[in-house]
Amino acid sequence: MTKLPFAKMGFPEMYEEALVRPLFQPWAALLLDDVGLTDGDRVLDVACGTGIVARLAKERLGAVGKVVGIDLNPQMIGVARRITGRIDWREGDATALPLRDKEQFDVVVCQQGLQFIRDKPAAVRQMRVALDTGGRLAVSTWCSDEDSPVLRELRRIAERHTGPISDTRHSFGEAGPLEALLRDAGFHHIQSKTLSRTIRFEDGSVFVRLNAMALVGMSTASTAMSAEEREQVVAAIASDSAALVRAHTDASGFAYEIAATVATARA
């Protein structure tokens, strides 16, 4: 994919360029380890974003495996397509997956997407429909940002500018409700665990700016802001976060702990 200057990128390009390698790729590898890919597996990545889980699955399977990535956001799918044409990228809703006639998969994965879906039961039922008998499912969702001191403080800094923020990214991180959701959809052999990792960015200011953009977008106050006002608020949040970034930066970069719930199941 041809790289634009960072300042000229849209959010999907920024997401791929700045967040995927340090934040999402390590978790994607763990998710695929949990489902145990085997030669010839057919893999579906639901809410794939720019496609890191699908790309890693394709690398592991090579030419013998089929990989499909589906996301509701056409800009995210557009970035995924520009990165590689070796995967079948489709624009579509997780609650009504764009599956072909009688199309089924051996593995369905959903990394950090379920929490954004309003009708979670419908989405999980669709994942069940997409799986062949005995197929494997793996889902991950971030734990509450209250469990991460750095992320919690970054949200509180943002809230000084916007008022209360309900961070959707961290809204569905409990194992119990996730297991119940899978059970109600007909899955069995359900197992879940909570994992914590240290995430490290070479440039903490880039992460903090993107995080501020996401937080402002999730605030009620943002609906009344013009694009210029939103940009000013993001800049102010990033500026106020600079001391926190410095406190958590060493010679290897800016680091913080983040935890996720990972659930696996069988159809």
SS3 state at 139: strand
Give the structural domain span for 73: 6-145+166-199+258-266
pLDDT digits (tens, 9 = 90+) for 106-139: 999 999 999 999 999 999 999 999 999 999 999 9
Residues 82-102, mean pLDDT to the nearest whole number: 96
Domain membership flag for residue 171: yes
With respect to residue 219, please indicate whether it lies within any of the assigned structural domains: no
| pLDDT tens-place string over residues 161-184 | 999 999 999 999 999 999 999 999
Q: Which amino acid is at 17?
A: E
Please, are residues 145 and 167 in contact by the beta-carbon 8 Å criterion?
yes
**Domain holding 65: CATH number?**
3.40.50.150
What distance in Å separates the CA atoms of residue 54 and residue 32, rounded to the nearest whole number?
A: 10
Among residues 118, 117, 139, the alpha carbon closest in space to that of 128 is found at 139
Residue 10 — very low, low, confident or very high, per pLDDT cuts 50/70/90?
A: confident
Confidence of residue 29 (pLDDT cuts 50, 70, 90): very high
Q: What is the pLDDT of residue 7?
A: 58
Identity of residue 79: V
* 52: in domain: yes
| pLDDT classification of 3: cutoffs 50, 70, 90 | low
**pLDDT tens per residue across span 194-244:** 999 999 999 999 999 999 999 999 999 999 999 999 999 999 999 999 999
Does residue 239 lie in a domain region? no
% of the chain exceeding 90 in pLDDT: 94
**How many folded domains does the chain comprise?**
1
**pLDDT for res 133:** 96
pLDDT of res. 242: 97
Residue 214: how many other CB atoms lie within 10 Å: 18
Q: What is the pLDDT of residue 252?
A: 94
Sequence-separated (6 or more) residues with CB below 8 Å from residue 202 = 22, 253, 254
Average pLDDT over residues 151-165: 97
Task: Decide if 13 is inside a domain.
Answer: yes
Does any domain span residue 42? yes
pLDDT band at residue 258 under the 50/70/90 scheme: very high
What is the predicted pLDDT for the residue at 9? 75
User: Exposure pattern of 166-185 as b/e (b: 16+ CB <10 Å)?
Assistant: ebebbbbbebeebbebbeeb
| Integer Cα distance of 64 and 70 in angstroms | 20
Alpha-carbon span 100 to 107, nearest angstrom: 16
The answer to the question of residue 207 being in a domain is: no
| Mean pLDDT over the full length of the chain | 95
Instruction: Write phi, then psi, for 10 (nearest 5 degrees).
Output: -80, 170
On whether residue 20 sits in a domain, the answer given is: yes
Distances in Å between the Cα of 160 and the Cα atoms of 152, 154, 163, 219 are 13, 10, 6, 11
pLDDT at 2 over 70: no
State residue 11's pLDDT score: 85
